[in-house]
Amino acid sequence: MSTAQPSVSPPANLLSPAERKQQLIRDIKALKKERNAVILAHLYERIEVQDVADYHGDSLGLSQLAASTDAEVIVFCGVHFMAETAKLLSPAKTVYLANPNAGCPMADMITREELVQFKAENPGLPVVAYVNTAADVKAEADYCCTSANAVEVVAFAAKETGSNRILFVPDKHLGAYVQSQLPQVELICWEGFCPTHLRMNPDDVIKLKKEYPDAEILVHPECDQPMKDMADFIGSTTAIVKRAKESKARTFIVCTEDGVSQRLSQDCPEKLFFTPTRASAVCPNMKLTRLENIYKSLLGQNEEITIPEEVAEKARHCIDSMMRVAGSKGGPVMAGKHG
């Protein structure tokens, strides 16, 4: 682990909280340049974290972007599996998860051992793993997918392997959405779920819709069926952002983590965005990262992400299999850049 020297700043006790924040942002920018680093932030992160990042977007888009830059250091503001994915795609780079305590409860709902057992109970069936999985789980899967391309990847896996039965891990709600789109394939889903998306409540959507009858309802596929049944549009975080920006509608009920509504409110001030069940539609893990964590990572004070090579090689194969789904609408997902 390399340790950089902090930039010289005025004594913190002489500054107001707002001045301290501005100073921290300046220090982050200077240190980032010094270390040839890139800061990536998921759209569910705090807005001040997204604002200091070079790019914001969804997990795979950010990882692909990290692999294509010439930065030597990647600071990932997100949860653990995202930083692991960045490391898998950029093995020669130094990767930090800005807050090492930020995990994903859904990813933790399946372990490598549980997947091995699931496969033994369903011998010979191809496995599609959502990107929200640990590297050693990906290493046991055949294909990886995101919420943007899950339908295409499952269809591709069924065609490539000649199997009309597919094991899908870990999100049963994303699996149910894929199943609704591909009735010709039987998905056998793991019982995982995202606690944040499941806290969203159809009654709150109905209340908002009564107040704003012209509002478009945009729903993430990690939500459960009653939420999806109300949707005008179902899509990944990136697809929801794109739809909201391109739509002629002026008001939107955005049924995913609250960070997306906040991002959209900032990017499209002429439109109105509401998150149903706002107080609970917050992923506590995504909100763990603060500016101080980014600074600490840039100083080299966090542990680097490391993945044993035998696991990394197999997990990379799983991710590469997704890349073969060429031309699908869920191909590489793009992240926005901050100037």
Binding-site ranges for ligand SF4 (CB under 6 A): 44, 79, 104-106, 132, 194-196, 257, 283, 285-286
Cis, bond preceding 170 (omega within 30 deg of 0): yes
Q: How far is the CB of 277 from ligand SF4 (least distance, A)?
A: 14
Q: How far is the CB of 52 from ligand SF4 (least distance, A)?
A: 20
Q: Which is nearer to ligand SF4, 79 or 187 (CB)?
A: 79
Q: Which is nearer to ligand SF4, 48 or 108 (CB)?
A: 108
Q: Which is nearer to ligand SF4, 32 or 197 (CB)?
A: 197
Q: Which is nearer to ligand SF4, 32 or 173 (CB)?
A: 173
* 263, 256 Cβ separation under 8 angstroms: no
* 72, 36 Cβ separation under 8 angstroms: yes
* Cα-based angle 71, 77, 83 (whole degrees, multiple of 5): 70
Q: Count of CB atoms within 10 A of residue 157's CB?
A: 24
- The H-or-E segment that residue 189 falls in is strand 186-189
Q: Which is nearer to ligand SF4, 195 or 202 (CB)?
A: 195
Interhelix angle 80-89/59-68, rounded to 10 degrees, is 30
Q: How far is the CB of 172 from ligand SF4 (least distance, A)?
A: 13
Q: Which is nearer to ligand SF4, 63 or 94 (CB)?
A: 63
Q: How far is the CB of 284 from ligand SF4 (least distance, A)?
A: 8
Q: How far is the CB of 167 from ligand SF4 (least distance, A)?
A: 19
Q: How far is the CB of 259 from ligand SF4 (least distance, A)?
A: 9
Q: Which is nearer to ligand SF4, 24 or 95 (CB)?
A: 95
Q: Which is nearer to ligand SF4, 31 or 219 (CB)?
A: 219
Nearest alpha-carbon partner for 131 in 322, 298, 324, 331:
322
* 318, 142 Cβ separation under 8 angstroms: yes
Tokens at 140, concatenated? 């046991």
Q: Is 224 exposed, middle or buried (0-12, 13-18, 19+ CB in 10 A)?
A: middle
User: Secondary structure of 85-116 in the HEC alphabet?
Assistant: HHHHHCCCCEEEECCCCCCCCCHHHCCHHHHH
Q: How far apart are CA 288 and CA 27, in angstroms?
A: 20
User: In sequence order, what DSSP letters do the residues of 279-303 get, joined into one string?
Assistant: TTS--TTGGG--HHHHHHHHTT-SP
Q: How far is the CB of 193 from ligand SF4 (least distance, A)?
A: 8
Q: How far is the CB of 107 from ligand SF4 (least distance, A)?
A: 6
